[in-house]
Amino acid sequence: MTAQLPPIPPQFKSLQHHLRTAQEHDKRDQVVAYYCRLYAMQNGMKIDSKSPECRKFLSKLMDQLEIQKKELGDCDSITQEIVGSAHVENYALKMFLYADNEDRAGRFHKNMIKSFYTASLLLDALTVFGELSEENIQHRKYARWKATYIHNCLKNGETPESGPVGFEGEDYNEDDDGTSASTEAPERSSFTYKPGNMPASNYTGIHIPPGAHAPANTPAEVPHSSGVASNATSNSSLQNIHSVEPSLYIAQQGGMRLTPEDFAQAQKYCKYAGSALQYEDVNTAVENLQKALKLLTASRE
């Protein structure tokens, strides 16, 4: 990354950790780094695009984005939103699951805290593609709370409790050491997650999309593939599906009209299938592609 940013203006303090995460991923995963910067750019424009210092900072940040976009070339995760969204979502959930594995095993340490918090930042970045699903809103809230809770416990010499005991998910301030710190120590509550349609994982109560399972030994510092090569495989199956006009689907269905919700659900299945292929999870990929085909060919049954 050749374009260096000037000091971040005070107005953009809420974006400093997203930019730090982008910098940390420049060599680890350029796609993730790109979308973290794009998130900071979009939100920076909303916060202040008029003051001289903010305009200067945003101009340099835009230069970084342009340089990075050229470096990535024809990467499917940059040129196609559905592939990029799946890449960022799976990276975030992989980090979340690593941290949750450590939490459930009672292994409380700095790297696990960072993984929880970074997962929440990457779910922030996922909003560049649109509104988060309810599941990912819960993931983000829980990950940020968990980072806060464990950080405060270790700081105060206390032993944290594993799992969602005491989860509140409210009132966060940004801490200067890269974690999230709440205004008050979390207290116990009666909050419990409602079990959903979950694939097999060691996390009870939060739905993890298929293909997002992480190995138990994947810390935040371990380099991750940029996805430039792996997404090419998954996109080959996605491209054909998404290039067909909805009207053609209707004709193929013998006049049956599919709703926008049907098309959105089919796209989700295809996204999950593409994500599963990134992790060489063939069974999950086939299962989700079959679900998409069943939805789009329902009238033939």
Q: Tell me: pLDDT of 278 over 70.
A: no
Q: Tell me: pLDDT of 223 over 50.
A: no
pLDDT of residue 4: 82
Q: Which one is predicted more confidently, 147 or 183?
A: 147
Can you tell me the mean pLDDT for 175-188?
37
pLDDT of residue 168: 58
In the chain the domains, ranked by start, together with CATH numbers, are 10-78 (1.25.40.270), 82-182 (1.25.40.270), 230-300 (1.20.1270)
Distances (CA, A) of 145 to 137, 212, 221: 12, 21, 21
Per-residue pLDDT tens over the stretch 155-164: 999 999 998 8
pLDDT of residue 129: 95
Q: Which one is predicted more confidently, 73 or 53?
A: 53
Q: How many CA atoms lie within 13 A of 274 on its CB side?
A: 33
Per-residue pLDDT tens over the stretch 210-222: 333 333 334 444 3
Q: Tell me: pLDDT of 294 over 60.
A: yes
**Cα 222 to Cα 111: distance, rounded to the nearest angstrom:** 11
**pLDDT band for position 2 (cuts 50, 70, 90):** low
Per-residue pLDDT tens over the stretch 233-254: 333 332 332 333 333 333 334 4
pLDDT of residue 158: 95
pLDDT of residue 123: 97
**pLDDT band for position 90 (cuts 50, 70, 90):** very high
**Cα 94 to Cα 215: distance, rounded to the nearest angstrom:** 8
**Beta strands, E only, the chain:** 172-174, 180-182
Q: Which one is predicted more confidently, 191 or 62?
A: 62
**Cα 243 to Cα 18: distance, rounded to the nearest angstrom:** 33
**pLDDT band for position 146 (cuts 50, 70, 90):** very high
